[in-house]
Amino acid sequence: MSLRIVICGDDAVGKLTLLASLVKGEYVPSVQSIIPSVTISKDDYVAMSDLISEDSEIDSSTSSLLPYIPSTTVIVDTLASDRMTLNKELKQADVILLVYLDHYTYERILLYWMPFFRALGVNLPVIVCANKSDLHGLSEKPLSFKQQNAEEFVPLINEFKEIEACVRCSAKTSANVVDAFYLCQRAVTHPISPIFDSKEGNLKPAAVEALKRVFFLCDADQDGYLSFQEFSDLHSKCFGHPASQEEFDDIVLSLSSVILPSEGDPKGISENAFIILNKMYAEKGRHETIWGILRAFQYTNSLSLNDKFLFPSIEVSEHSSVELSPIGYRFFVDLFLKFDKDNDGGLNEEELSNLFLPTPGIPKLWKESNFPSSIVCNERGYVSLQGWLAQWNLTTFLDHKTTLEYLAYLGFDEGNSTKAIRVTKQRKLRQKQGKQYRSPVNDRNVFNCFVVGGPQSGKTSLLEQFIRGTFSEYYSPTIQPKICVKDIELRGGKQCYLILEELGQLEPAILENKSVLDKCDVICYTYDSSDPDSFQYLVDLRKKFLNYLDEIPSVFVALKADLDKQQQRSDVQPENYTRDLFLSSPLHISSSWTTSLHELFIQLVDAAKTPSISTPGLETHPDTTDFENLKHYLIAGGAIGFMAIFSVWIWRSAQILNR
């Protein structure tokens, strides 16, 4: 990164002497008409900040701001009479140092220079420098905006938003020379215009919103105040070292004179007081302090969060999935517990709203999945921890970029947010007797199941029973897709997450989309065992999309099994149909049979984990070949062992008889 400063102004205002004084470190009384451009390195920048006078109100500390300092800074002098070169240099500039000397050259700023910059189309920050202050008997002490001559500086700043700062200098006495060029660099690396409205004397709304988010994330106990420890943690994050108790007490004391008595609570610094504190920094010219806070929380110059922070790069292969990592689980568990203020095990609307305050709101994906109807809630309808984790697993599986984005918004503080997720191994295809099938899955905990079937076969009731344990007797046709997710306890106690999707009227479009089907781990084919016309729908469906569906593990389910079973008016009966596909017979399930429902969900996960056992048309299970060979070896070995033992027994018996 390189920064380019262009010095402009009328002839004889002292542009050259300013630059020469900066380079030589002392006054140079006689200089040529123009000197070559000067390059300042990053180390020179740090050294420059150390030369700023101690009584200056410019915050020149660089310890926490080094990542934002340009590697090189180029300073270019110009002649007002050489318009062609001037225009060229201005179009390459990052910031303009505009120098004036007296009343006439001051008026030229308003009437000529600023309109000239605008006409040229250069929208750059401008630092105005009143040179040769020693000739006017002015103080060499660097002054803040409020202390500057109101008749000169305030009208300029009020009229031209491009003007970032004004400063009085003297090349002869070296007063504020370093400050002037430092302000130029700061105007680019830490601009005041995005955060402070000098005309109104207030922080800009975008800056206030950003600082409110910072406060919210740093208020660890969510009591509305930054305690000493919380403030010290903020200080460490932003400036590389903790704050002292004395510093904290001094800030609280200074704030007590400008805030309401109710906000001077000994609990610490309130949100409003935190905003006022940063306003005070802006008024004193301590822009670096504000930017040190904002940049530690990944804000850019436009006061938006950095795209690389919101959407870090992560490589996901075509046949892999994305899940929460243990770090991600821990973060979302802690977040839930932090905002469950009443400790009732659920997030009510207010708690959920508070949790999403530092974000754009509830993710769009959640609204599309009809959250919170898609997860398990407690008896009062509040989001339970079980459902909360399930929803984030669903989000990560369907769109991991949304999860990464919200991890950033919600204050994930373990470095790169990609640590909160993990990418599973790529799912491969195997082949047996010309039939392709998916390889077993060993590293995944989230599985996606499409639930298909004819109208009124019981799909919606199955999803409702899965999430809430109850279902509605009222029939309403599913138009838009429905989705739900829940954790399932498998045999042996291991847990995983199962996503059930009812496709609605998009069923044909989805089933002929191979890229969408690739994300489906298992298909649940449902029919109403009490409706004689229900199964034929599945036969026709599979016949229509055979090329797309035959590689996906499948489980057939006869729903409403508590009603009278009917002979299906179909080309083939369900048991014969599944037998011809080398699949298990349809499971007979009823919403009133809790055990059968749980067995179905386990079987769906088993089919997803071991595709060879449930892939239509796969006669033998390739994954069991080694087991069969092992079984034969065990039988043979057992026979040999038995013969050996029997031989020893015969020999021992003969020995005893001989005695």
Digit-coded pLDDT (tens) for 203-252:
999 999 999 999 999 999 898 899 999 999 999 999 889 999 999 998 98
Range of the domain at 437: 432-613
Count of structural domains, the chain: 5
- 140 versus 95: the higher-pLDDT residue is 95
Q: Among 423, 456, 483, where does a domain finish?
A: 423
* CATH, residue 480: 3.40.50.300
Q: Provide the pLDDT for residue 20.
A: 83
- 277 assigned to some structural domain: yes
307-342: per-residue pLDDT in tens? 999 999 999 988 899 999 999 999 999 999 999 999
Mean pLDDT across 87-101: 93
* Cβ–Cβ under 8 Å, residues 41 and 194: no
Question: Are residue 477 and residue 587 in the same domain, yes or no?
Answer: yes
- 618 assigned to some structural domain: no
Residues of the chain above pLDDT 90, percent = 49
Question: Are residue 417 and residue 472 in the same domain, yes or no?
Answer: no
438-491: per-residue pLDDT in tens? 889 889 999 999 999 999 898 998 999 999 877 666 667 778 899 999 999 988
pLDDT for 263 beyond 70? no
144-160: per-residue pLDDT in tens? 444 545 667 888 888 88
Q: Among 423, 440, 474, where does a domain finish?
A: 423
Question: Are residue 650 and residue 575 in the same domain, yes or no?
Answer: no
Question: Are residue 642 and residue 586 in the same domain, yes or no?
Answer: no
Cβ partners under 8 Å of residue 333, min gap 6: 385, 389
- Would you place residue 140 in the very low, low, confident or very high pLDDT band (cuts 50, 70, 90)? very low
Question: Are residue 369 and residue 517 in the same domain, yes or no?
Answer: no
pLDDT for 435 beyond 60? yes
- 128 versus 148: the higher-pLDDT residue is 128
Q: Provide the pLDDT for residue 35.
A: 72
Question: Are residue 248 and residue 105 in the same domain, yes or no?
Answer: no
pLDDT for 642 beyond 90? no
Write down the mean pLDDT value for the chain: 84
Cβ partners under 8 Å of residue 499, min gap 6: 394, 397, 446, 447, 448, 449, 483, 484, 485
Question: Are residue 565 and residue 594 in the same domain, yes or no?
Answer: yes
pLDDT for 525 beyond 50? yes
Cβ partners under 8 Å of residue 35, min gap 6: 16, 19, 20, 77
Q: How far apart, in Å, are the Cα atoms of 541 and each of 454, 537, 544, 570?
A: 9, 6, 5, 13
CA distance 218 to 17: 48
> Structure pTM?
0.82
Question: Are residue 447 and residue 503 in the same domain, yes or no?
Answer: yes
- Of the candidate ranges 120-134, 389-403, 594-608, 635-649, the one whose mean pLDDT is the lowest: 635-649
Cβ partners under 8 Å of residue 217, min gap 6: 297, 358, 411
Q: Where are the beta strands (DSSP E) in 560-647?
A: 587-588
- Would you place residue 627 in the very low, low, confident or very high pLDDT band (cuts 50, 70, 90)? very low
- 309 assigned to some structural domain: no
Q: Provide the pLDDT for residue 21.
A: 83
Q: Provide the pLDDT for residue 47.
A: 65
Q: Where is 487: in which H helix or E strand?
A: strand 482-489
- 197 assigned to some structural domain: no
Question: Are residue 143 and residue 56 in the same domain, yes or no?
Answer: yes
- Would you place residue 139 in the very low, low, confident or very high pLDDT band (cuts 50, 70, 90)? very low
- 537 versus 657: the higher-pLDDT residue is 537
Q: Among 378, 406, 423, where does a domain finish?
A: 423
Question: Are residue 354 and residue 229 in the same domain, yes or no?
Answer: no
- 196 assigned to some structural domain: no
Q: Provide the pLDDT for residue 337.
A: 95
Q: Provide the pLDDT for residue 628.
A: 42
Mean pLDDT across 253-277: 76
Q: Provide the pLDDT for residue 619.
A: 78
- 195 assigned to some structural domain: no
CA distance 318 to 182: 50
pLDDT for 549 beyond 60? yes
* CATH, residue 243: 1.10.238.10
Question: Are residue 465 and residue 407 in the same domain, yes or no?
Answer: no
- Of the candidate ranges 240-244, 253-257, 503-507, 631-635, the one whose mean pLDDT is the lowest: 631-635
Nearest-CA neighbor of 608 among 651, 553, 653? 553
Question: Are residue 575 and residue 454 in the same domain, yes or no?
Answer: yes
- 215 assigned to some structural domain: yes
pLDDT for 643 beyond 70? no
Q: Provide the pLDDT for residue 555.
A: 96
